[in-house]
Amino acid sequence: MPKRHARAACTALAAAGLLLAATGGATADSAPAAPSAAVTLRTADAPPELLAAMQRDLGLTPTQAKARLAHEAVAGATAARLRDRLGAAFAGAWVDGADAAILTVATTRAADTAAIRATGARAKLVTRTLADLDADRAALDRAAGPATPVRYVDPRSNTLVVEETEAGAAAALLAATGTGADRVTVVRTAEAPRPLYDLRGGDAYYMNGSGRCSVGFPVTKGATNGFATAGHCGRAGTTTSGFNQVAQGSFQASVFPGNDMAWVAANTQWTATPYVKGSGGANVQVTGSVLQPVGASVCRSGSTTGWHCGTIQQHNTSVTYPEGTISGVTRTTVCAEPGDSGGSYISGSQAQGVTSGGSGNCSSGGTTFFQPLNPILSAYGLTLKVSGSDPGPGPGPGEPEPGGTWKAGTVYAAGATVTHGGASYRCIQGHQAQTGWEPPNVPALWQRV
């Protein structure tokens, strides 16, 4: 690892008070520590365009923008370890502060608070587990209609939030499902989310020569190049042309509603690159797909409004569009407009998901939702195109390969278990595995069991 990267990452992590948790607690007298979460996610490599957009949209100083990415990486890894440790008592986690230096983890078990504080995080004792509130949300999803378009768990308030467009709509939904009003916060909203497609034309990619959406993340499937995007942009067989109106490919699979996911296989004229289009057309590198925690910064690229940033508000949100309900999307404060659908959400260099829909606009502000990328990669057997990373030292001369069930290219969800080098590991942050991210090398992603 270059010295400048190690110095930048360690300075930021120490400021967060979470250095030992991020590195596994190695000391000068122990074996060399595996890379910290910030090093694994390469936060020190953030391009100037991304940092500038974070400063503009989040009101940060240059120092805060750099520190925030490192703090978010550490917070995500620490929260994932605590979620694994707390089990059923876990009630959510989030980051606060301009530079995301404050991590809070909620639990329903008082005995857990000391362990939470030992990592440098704040502990919050609450009455409802995340699993309980998610179960309530799932029940509401089955009965929700257009007048209650958004439902999500808010870990900060330890309640289920229901947005209503008509007075009394949320109360009627609660009554129909038998959900206690004490578990729910009702928010009145004047706008209902809608998919962000556009039939006026544009410059990203076109479906059947007319409608326009935005490329999500370049991927490969075997020798085929293509990209992940939103399901509402097209159905299997829908043909596409690129920003330059050159024939591009066709949708291979698509799901909408339920989820909002699809992928397009490109012809041989198009090559997948590990980039997202940033401010001014600059390339922003993609190095992985580790989903970031609530409160983390996230930036979006789309063909209508370009490059904008905000924060992650809630994961696992349910949204009812006029076309039907989708579940499992992430709610953000990033603005978007028609034509941005399918476009990329990225946090630092980590791919987050593709634009699904939202409300508002980029003049007055808005709320948007993205379909997380890892489920798309897993569902369709796709490999995210990432920029080169240091694979680390391999076996020495005459030494065998470590072996095991871990495999690069596989999408692992939190809780998945693998073997590698004769040891067992449990995934603590969902991601697509890649060379250099073998379990013993990345404690931010894997916990030895």
**Active site residue ranges:** 232, 260, 341
Q: How far is Cα 185 from Cα 170, in angstroms, rounded to an integer?
A: 9
Torsion angle in degrees (nearest 10) through CA of 254, 149, 196, 221 = -30
* Structure tokens that stand for 198 in this block: 């556009």
Cα angle, residue 17 at apex, residues 11 and 18 outer, rounded to 5°: 90
Q: How far is Cα 244 from Cα 265, in angstroms, rounded to an integer?
A: 17
Report the DSSP pairing between strands 306-321 and 297-302.
antiparallel
Q: How far is Cα 18 from Cα 73, in angstroms, rounded to an integer?
A: 11
Report the DSSP pairing between strands 150-154 and 159-164.
antiparallel
Compute CA distances 130 → 105, 154, 295, 420, whole Å: 11, 9, 17, 31
For residues 293 and 327, the answer to whether their CB atoms sit within 8 Å is no
* Structure tokens that stand for 380 in this block: 């369709």
Residue 41's identity, in one-letter code, is L
Cα angle, residue 44 at apex, residues 67 and 343 outer, rounded to 5°: 90
Secondary structure (3-state) at 176: helix
Q: How far is Cα 203 from Cα 356, in angstroms, rounded to an integer?
A: 18
Check whether the bond before 149 is cis (ω within 30° of 0).
no
Q: How far is Cα 422 from Cα 418, in angstroms, rounded to an integer?
A: 10
Q: How far is Cα 389 from Cα 396, in angstroms, rounded to an integer?
A: 20
Q: How far is Cα 37 from Cα 374, in angstroms, rounded to an integer?
A: 19
